[in-house]
Amino acid sequence: MKNIFITGGAGLVGGHVVEEALRVAPDARIVVLVQALDPRSYFVSSGMKDRVTLVFGDIRDERTVRDCVFNYEIDTIFHLAAQPIVNVALANPRQTLDTNIMGTVNVLEAARTSGLVQAVVVASSDKAYGKAKFQPYTEDHPLEGLHPYDVSKSCTDLIARTYATCYDLPIIVTRFGNIFGPGDLNLNRLVPGAMRALALNEDLLIRSDGTLTRDFVYVKDVAYVYVMLAQRAREYGGQAFNCTSGIHKSVIDMLDTISVAVGQPVPHRILNEAKHEIPEQALSDQKLRNTFQWKPSIAFDQAIRDTYEWYKALFSSHL
């Protein structure tokens, strides 16, 4: 990993992947494609911004993506950029499908034609599976997303593996559960919303009935897995790996866990108005654990406390 290209590097996962990549390869040149910078983000507030080469542009712009890969002689790619919000996808499916699907094609076409790329890690999602035919999802579960965001990730996943198979590109696909941790500025998500509710003593509005169940995984563990997979991409190219902390909770159970971890209850109100949400998702990541002898390095309660401390600082300085 000498010349690294990260799409979506200023997002929740991206900032931590930059940090982990620099820990593993401190002399690497990292090129980060961003549309805009938020001073509150982990990428900016942690100082990662000052240790990379920034390129401002859109993943949908084929020329911009190609120039990044070719001009900087990229050998490793982390493709993290996406439109990730389910409700935005429902309201504007064209933008979501264009960003998530054709953005992926742009990245993989640049990798295919450059001749220098030695590793690509593509972010898919547990949403790519759609409604479960069996639980927990293993990597051979069919990819059957139905709603716009889910479909965009099913397609991203399939396209990545097409490029791996047909063009012998060393591409690995990741499918994570719900990622949380310092730097998530989408306060409509459960954990950031809970942290805001705690910091401001305001009700968290739960769109569902509170019984939806999800896997949760800490962003620093996620970043470690991304970099680890990039280092093994030639060996495991063409494969997909699930990743989770092994913590599978309903919305209400997760709020209870947060309350216990930080020592105060999360104020909340259940609206029960969510639509097009998959009621239950549980991942099996035994393939990842058995292949790489991986397990989360940070205890779940500690991860919640560390996340809470970051949000406390955020809200105290940006009120």
Per-residue pLDDT of the chain (319 residues; tens, 9 = 90+): 999 999 999 999 999 999 999 999 999 999 999 999 999 999 999 999 999 999 999 999 999 999 999 999 999 999 999 999 888 999 999 999 999 999 999 999 999 999 999 999 999 999 999 988 888 999 999 999 999 999 999 999 999 999 999 999 999 999 999 999 999 999 989 999 999 999 999 999 998 899 999 999 999 999 999 999 999 999 999 999 999 998 899 999 999 999 999 999 999 999 988 776 778 889 999 999 999 999 999 999 999 999 999 999 999 876 5
Give the burial class of 78: count Cβ atoms within 10 A of its Cβ; 0-12 exposed, 13-18 middle, 19 or more buried.
buried
pLDDT at 182: 97
pLDDT at 134: 87
Task: Report the predicted TM-score, pTM, of the whole model to 2 decimal places.
Answer: 0.95
Q: Which residues are catalytic?
A: 149
pLDDT at 280: 84
pLDDT at 318: 60
Which fold, 3-179+217-243? Rossmann fold (3.40.50)
pLDDT at 274: 75
The domain locations on the chain are: 3-179+217-243, 181-214+246-281+298-317
- Tell me yes or no: is domain 181-214+246-281+298-317 CATH 3.90.25.10: yes
